[in-house]
Amino acid sequence: MDELMQLEQVQSMLDFMGSRGLAKCPTSSDHPSNRFLANLMIFLIQPCGKLDLDEKCSLVCEFVPRLSATLLEEASLWLCRGGAMKEENSGCQQNLFGKSLQLSCDQMTYDNLLQNDDKNLAMVRLDSMQDANSTLEDFCRSYFMFHGLDVRKPQSIFKYLPILSFTESYIYQLDRMNEKLLQTPTNGESVFGGIYDKDTQLLISCISKNPFRPLMTLLELKGLSTHRIREELRQGEEYWALERKLCHALVNKEEILVEDVMKAIHLKSFDYRVMNLLLYKLRGEKVEELHMEFLSVSEFLVEVADDLYDYEDDVLENNFNVLRMFVRIYGASTAPAMLAKCISEAEDKYDSLLKSLDPCLSLSYQKRCEEATKEGGMISGHAHGTWNIPTVIIDEELYRSKWKSNSSGSWLPP
């Protein structure tokens, strides 16, 4: 919520600058120049010891003529070396400025991702790369075998890692923005159907206006763009839209269609399919349709298993979860049976396709699935063990309320 409050503060300053004719680019309030000046204004009005506003203005007027790009570059390098990172008791209240500066950096990252003047520039943050790392590792260990690559050989990984890592990190970065929308309070109104504040509006704008354009431009420049990759990314946008629609409908007690739920769970692994298609393109090989079909069924079962494992957490955080949706659609008593039916049908298809694979590949993949299940701590999963559908939560609002009311986090549902 702090970030959202900071966004509102910056937006208010942008509005003020526009009303006073101070905007550098009057036709676009979100222009980087305007945002920079807004953050500078916010910084200048923060208390700093006994300095009043007149004294601050005098200092700025005296100092600005001495500024240059070279000086700023030297200062940047100095900070990177840690030469000026120690905190000093100067009496300046820098906390708010620090948050505003971080917000500015974060927002500029989003602008560069989605609305940069240089449409060829796609950027990812370090934390997005860190978040994507476990998925990337799982992809290498689970999918490389379908390309005849040995994941135990570093050269097999590092040859393709830059593009795969960048792509997955970019997707994760957008996914985190979408998660913020899922957790945005709406006072009973759907974010996309009611009145929302400027903070939410900004997030909606970032996630809905062709967010994959910079990534696709980069892939095109590298000769890696294909129709199927573009289509998978489009389906990724569709998944996020469905996720928002379904989660807000669940909270607001609106109608949920089983067709939307099943489509969402099938689209959810789009990032794996994007990376898999990229790997075919990077290797200059034709897409193996049997492998893609088999993996799509496996992805569905893995997503369902993950949803069952994360069910309680997803209720608390209002995340998309297939069991949550089935409870709303079919009721608490019928939902487990209906989900079990979907699982059984997918397992039958999985087993049929598994027999069509090369025997060595089939054994290798089954072994990998068993490893992944043990590493993840799951007790349910396809092809290795029984499924365990958790006790459904009938009243999610009550469940969240009880959980939040217990500050120690030791409360357990009956």
Question: What's the pLDDT tens digit per position in 169-185?
Answer: 999 999 988 887 776 54
Predicted confidence at residue 186, as pLDDT, reads 45
CB neighbours of 2 closer than 8 A, spacing ≥ 6?
Answer: 99
Question: What's the pLDDT tens digit per position in 79-130?
Answer: 655 543 444 444 444 443 444 334 444 444 444 444 444 544 678 888 899 9
Predicted confidence at residue 42, as pLDDT, reads 84
Predicted confidence at residue 201, as pLDDT, reads 60
Predicted confidence at residue 97, as pLDDT, reads 40
- The list of the chain residues with pLDDT below 70 reads 1-5, 7-8, 25-30, 73-74, 76-121, 183-208, 377-385, 407-414
Predicted confidence at residue 263, as pLDDT, reads 97
User: What does the domain layout of the chain look like in residue ranges?
Assistant: 1-47+95-118, 126-185+207-259+275-287, 288-394
Instruction: Phi first, then psi: give them for residue 366, nearest 5 degrees.
Output: -60, -40
